[in-house]
Amino acid sequence: MPKVHVLPPRIANQIAAGEVVERPSSVVKELVENAIDAGATAITVEIENGGLDSIRITDNGTGIADDDCETAFLRHATSKISSANDLFAIRSLGFRGEALASIAAVSRVTLQTQTEEDELGSLIRYDGGDLIEHRRTAGTRGTTIEIKNLFYNVPARLKFVKSARAESAAIGDYIARLILSVPQIAVHYVNGGKTVYRSTGNGSAKDALVSVYGISAERQICPVSFDDGYLKITGFVGVPDLARANRSGQTFLLNGRIIRSNALSNALMRSFDTRVLIGRFPFAVLYLNIAYAEVDVNVHPAKLEVRFTDEQRVSRSVVVACSEALIRSYVPTIQVNREEADDKPAPVFSVPDEARKVDLRAPISQPSTGLREETYSSVPRVPTYRLPPREPEERQRLEPIFLTKPAEPFSEPFHIIGCAFETYWYVQQGEHVFCIDQHAAHERLLYDALMARSAAIVSQTLFLPEDMRLLPSESDAFFTNKKELERLGFVFSDATETSVTLLAVPQINGTALKTAFLHDVLEFLSGAEEARPNDWFRDAIAQSACKHAIKAGERLSHEEIQKLLDRLTQEDSLLTCPHGRPVAVRFTKTDIEKMFKRVL
């Protein structure tokens, strides 16, 4: 008896649906692409319960002829390609002929459509892949397709679907990128009866960007324009201040197709060079146009991954285009202290006459133990070292020590020597000299204060409430963790799926953590769904503490650094920043003597 047999078409379709229909957002993507290929100029997407209960898509495209309605639901049935040669120059968004068959196999589908030539439209219904009804009906030009009870007959798949809010966020993220990809099409997205996005469809890429990211983003973008005859690149890159904690702000559109590409993302990162902090990712919406024969989109059924014939050339072009856009349009804001605007003469170091009269054989003077700070005008003490009666013992050569947590940090009186490069402070304490990174030190203090929930106690009311635009992924994270954010010190009002109003924000050591901090937290949450609550809180706080800490090169007075060191002592902080970099490097007196060959 043979053991190998061919699966029935219904089971085969359910299995194959796993590659095409991964989640509700996959359904929306496939059906919207069909609407675009049909020449629609207006598309409406309506969902209920994250798309699991209902997905309804309406367009004003060409429609489907009645004779083609049943054929369209067969696997590998398509009107977009007809021969193998067409695969080498795919112009349409869809071409595999798998979407409708896969969707119908795992849901209940109702399709109503009519072409411009027909007087009557067609209505066709499928239930789990089986044809239930097909009849002529009155209608209007275009197509309306409704998907209900997605995955109702494949409980194994339904078990791994995320929450309705998470699925809504995934659909919203796709719709946002869709609006950017087709500014010439009016897109209306409705979730649970409420409008989330509505684009004008006037063909303006900038207007499409504003409809997704809000009017504030318009003031923080630089236009991109590049064309070398092989590749044309247009779009926008955000200023460095618009950089995000993840790549959610990067949208790449190739010949009108939404794609994901590590090569393009890395090229974008290189174009910003050192303009963004480590761990931050530039914002960009880039439209790439290239000959269809120079790219392969038939890599995966989802059609998000592509392969370029000359990927290195494409990457270099992205680097050049974005770099030129930043140089041409972005002028960083530099704050100048008017009181210190005048150039101060550099200190002149000279050897006073008194120093030449110092008796090198005199006994060593005892150093002061006070906290008095020395000035360059004071007479230097020239130390002398007497040779010991016998050779010093051989000791292992010590390198500068990265401090973790000394038993009693700065327990002895310390003396501030000075600052190098307006970043590194040198402090003497007993037999040790510490080189302290002011950014890492302040970052550690901010992190500790936030982790101790001190921000929840000190909440600063804003003089003018601030409206903050929420992306779909941020909206999901916001409503899921709203109570925790309120305990942190935020006060919200008028929260919707796309925006929220800030009435009060946490204040840490005089620094108000506003929309940038909240964006950082929400971006981390949207990409860390597997993390425990303490994990997301810790990592999000670490990112924000780094961003809001005193920067390297920011001039501090001796009084300010004194307060910073006092707080490090009082709060018994770890002497590493939240990312593991050292706050201070310690040199012993012996280490310095060895550098000058005074001891061996």
Buried b (16+ CB within 10 A) or exposed e, 169-207: bbbbbbbbbbbbbbbebbbbbbbeeeebbebbbeeebee
Tokens of 214: 């809000």
- Per-residue pLDDT tens over the stretch 231-256: 999 999 998 888 887 788 899 999 88
CATH number of 9-204: 3.30.565.10
In whole angstroms, what is the distance from residue 322 CA to residue 226 CA? 9
In whole angstroms, what is the distance from residue 174 CA to residue 187 CA? 12
Strands (E), 228-342: 231-238, 250-254, 257-259, 284-290, 295-296, 307-308
CATH number of 214-329: 3.30.230.10
- Per-residue pLDDT tens over the stretch 98-147: 788 889 888 999 999 999 988 899 999 999 888 999 999 988 899 999 99
Using DSSP, state whether 136 is helix, strand or coil. strand
* Phi, psi angles (nearest 5°) of residue 223: -70, 145
CA dihedral 356, 360, 363, 366 (to 10 degrees): 50
Could you list the pLDDT tens digit for every one of the 600 residues in the chain?
676 777 676 666 666 655 667 889 989 998 999 899 889 999 999 999 999 999 999 999 999 999 888 888 887 777 766 666 666 666 667 666 678 888 988 899 999 999 998 889 999 999 988 899 999 998 889 999 999 999 888 887 888 888 888 889 889 999 999 999 999 999 999 998 888 999 999 999 999 999 998 888 888 899 999 999 999 999 999 988 888 877 888 999 998 888 888 899 999 999 987 787 777 889 999 999 999 888 887 666 666 788 888 999 999 999 999 999 888 876 554 444 444 444 545 444 444 554 444 444 455 444 444 433 443 344 444 344 343 444 444 444 333 333 333 444 445 677 777 788 878 878 887 788 888 887 887 777 777 776 665 444 467 788 888 888 888 778 878 888 888 788 777 888 878 878 888 888 877 656 666 777 787 778 767 665 444 445 555 666 676 677 667 777 777 777 777 777 777 766 555 667 776 677 788 888 888 888 888 877
Angle at 195 between CA 243 and CA 483, to 5 degrees: 60
Domain-by-domain residue ranges, the chain?
9-204, 214-329, 396-600
- Name the residue among 490, 426, 424, 430 with its Cα closest to residue 462: 490
Using DSSP, state whether 168 is helix, strand or coil. helix
In whole angstroms, what is the distance from residue 273 CA to residue 282 CA? 10
In whole angstroms, what is the distance from residue 370 CA to residue 338 CA? 34
Beta bridge partners of 46: 56, 190
For the chain, the first-to-last Cα distance in angstroms comes to 89
Order the strands of the 221-227 sheet from edge to edge: 221-227, 231-238, 284-290, 250-254, 257-259
CATH number of 396-600: 3.30.1540.20
